[in-house]
Structure 1
Amino acid sequence: MPWKNNDSDMANYLFLMQTGNETLGDRDLFVLTKITLTGSGLSIVGGLLSIFLVCYVPMRSDGLFAIGNMCIALMSAQLAFAGAENAFPTQVMCKISASIIHYLFLCLHCWALSYSVHLIMKLCRVLPGLRWKRRCILTTIGWVIPIVIVAITAVIDSDSYNGGESLCWLNSHNNARWAFVGPVIFIAVCNGAVMLVMLFVRYLLDKKREVPTGKKVKHALATVFSLLPVSSIPWLLGLPVTPSGKLLQYLFVILNSSQGLFILVLHMLLSTQIRHLLRTRLTGEDDAKPIDQHLSKSGSTGHSHDMTESSDVTPAGCGMKNIATAARQG
């Protein structure tokens, strides 16, 4: 007998983090679904533009490598999630769809973990001069570990991928959704710990340079807003801790469905060096060549709100090299 997926309007991001049978009102469900689809569209555009800039700008950076792969995983996951809203004729097809969604969203979060690992390796100067080894580590975390998690989930219980409730996703009756929610929580905690480390070393650098309090706060906020789009921390807002917290639910959907757009703005458009290199690439100015060579060797992405990649300190950027020096000397 053909199996049909009902309640396709449940296609909003909040559904992914629900571990039980939480329900939403029809009005909220409709609005959150529209926000998800609109945000995903903007996110895919932002992801495509980010990947274009990563490929087009002549800059060798492990951070950009991780962000580019994160955008690929994000766009693939959002397209698969939107496609799963359609009813499949058989339950087998729905299980396949659910496993693909599970893998792609895990890749998204594992690349967020890879980015944090990149920050720690850069801060501690792990494997200096061995870019291929560093990228092998990042790639293993980002693309291979999710395969292991999906395989283990399928082997432990063949009915784990059974989306017969409202959408092709992990079964909520046998706690299979913790195969996704658990890793997300773990990665978010790791991202949060790395963010605290970055804030601490930023504070050490500001203290050493006797930066005014106002600029200290500005640097701290720049660090937080830079790292949030490439972390799993916003996904914690989707945990069913406060069922009546509609504000958190809406904030969760808005932030995470539009993640690609935030990456484009905060890590690409607001990067002074990326804008400079893009302008140099388009106009062919010769005076920028020494800077390009320096940036290419240093693997920096410039004066941006991304504190993790700048080489110098500006009100918007924080300077990874200077931060690392301050941390070792402090």
Structure 2
Amino acid sequence: MREEKGKSLVALPVDYVVVDTETTGLSSGRSHIIELSALRVRNGEVTEVFSSLIRPPKQEICEFGEVRYAYADSFITGLTGITNEMLEDAPGPEEILPKAHAFLEDRVLLGHNVQFDVNFLYDAFEQWLGRPLRNDFLDTLRLSRKLLPELPHHRLSDLAAALGVRYEGAHRAEADCRITHGCYLKLRELALERFSEEEFIRLFPRKKMEYRARDIGTDRKNFDETHPLYGKRVAFAGELSIPRKEAMQLVADAGGVNCDSVGSRTDYLVVGSTALPAKENAVPLQKGRGMAVLTEQAFFRLVRNREEGLP
């Protein structure tokens, strides 16, 4: 658990730091940051820029029937344009993360689906700096859903198109920071056209106390031990189309074990639309070392015991 993690804010600040990361995968426990960018903003204007590739540890990658050791697989390279050759020459986290920590200071962090970036940074800071990321953060995804409920999707590309923000160079961290910043300025302007800042904040009710995996039980006494979820440890990330508590109940009713976060023994990680890699795309089914990453749709098929080709 990230016990010292900052708070998710609802606010319309003019001073903040926009952040974005590119990573080798979805789980900060198993994946690594390969690019980190941040824009320091004062009174709505970008005043300083921090951006760097970060060389991660090499990992065993199995693709097209071949096993090799590399920094990133072909999916990540295709998505971001960041090649293994670029990462070979990049500085390591021990060099970059102290500089990033100094740049971020204790400022509010802003990003699109920023929980994804904050979680990676929290874990990386703990590992390499011996202290977690404690900054509070503000999510443009959350603002978009409130101000533009008519949008069918709230991906960064959808938001930029709706607000007339240029969407160029996406899936590289600095470009995503600049796109996100442009979208935030438009969202802030839209919010203040309709409401005062205090009225806007009141549109977001405070969340009730969260439940934990141990709180989800089942009344079932007998289980189908051939069901693919029976005895499996399942974690969730991102926002699902149904309440997470209901999804966790499906796991419990199948005889599975719910987990609050990804660990070394996790069998399945189910990701909602807000936790897809690089904010936009996801592999429908991605097998990891001992863990399968599933989209929400694949998870529901698995619950119905019709998924094929899974461990």
TM-score, with length taken from structure 1:
0.24
Higher strand share: 2
Greater RCO, CA 8 A, separation 6+:
1
TM-score by length of 2: 0.25
Higher helix share: 1
**Larger Rg over CA atoms:** 1
